[in-house]
A = this chain, B = another copy of it.
Amino acid sequence: MLNAIGGQHFAKTLDITPLKVAYGEVTLKMPVQPKVFQQLGYVHGGAITSLLDTATVMCSVTLIRDDESTLTTELKVNFLGPGEGEYILGTARTIKDGGKLIIMEAEATAVFADGSTRDVAHMTTTYIRLKRPQQR
């Protein structure tokens, strides 16, 4: 399961690595580094969203059968504070595991060198279950 990130080129571009992948719950880590900065020197909101969306897609995959896949249908992010520190933690958990739709929530947390933390973002998102794995 920890290899699920293997095929995720974009997650690799962001240097995202998994810390925990369990049934209905995923935690990932993304380093704070210049290549993900916006114009003010903080992590770009799009990179934060990418971390959270990567966490929720992996979370959705823990819930489905081998002959299914999932696709994001919508996501909404509230930004709570600047993306800074040493790295950003992205955690996803399941709100509803339905027959057709999976609803999850995810949180981004800045972790500083001294171990202190601060809220960065909160996301809710809907995934749809597809009946067979999609491959391009």
Contact = CB atoms under 8 A, between A and B. Distances in A.
By DSSP majority rule, is chain A's interface helix, strand, loop, or mixed? mixed
Interface in A4-49: 4, 7-13, 34-47, 49
Interface residues of A, number: 57
A4 B37 CA distance: 14
Copies in the complex: 4
A64 interface: no
A55 to B, nearest CB: 10
A119 B97 CA distance: 12
A51 interface: yes
A126 interface: yes
28 contacts: A8-B37, A8-B44, A9-B34, A9-B38, A9-B44, A10-B36, A10-B38, A10-B47, A11-B38, A39-B57, A44-B50, A45-B72, A46-B46, A46-B49, A50-B50, A73-B73, A73-B79, A74-B79, A75-B77, A76-B76, A76-B77, A78-B126, A80-B95, A80-B98, A80-B103, A84-B136, A100-B100, A122-B124
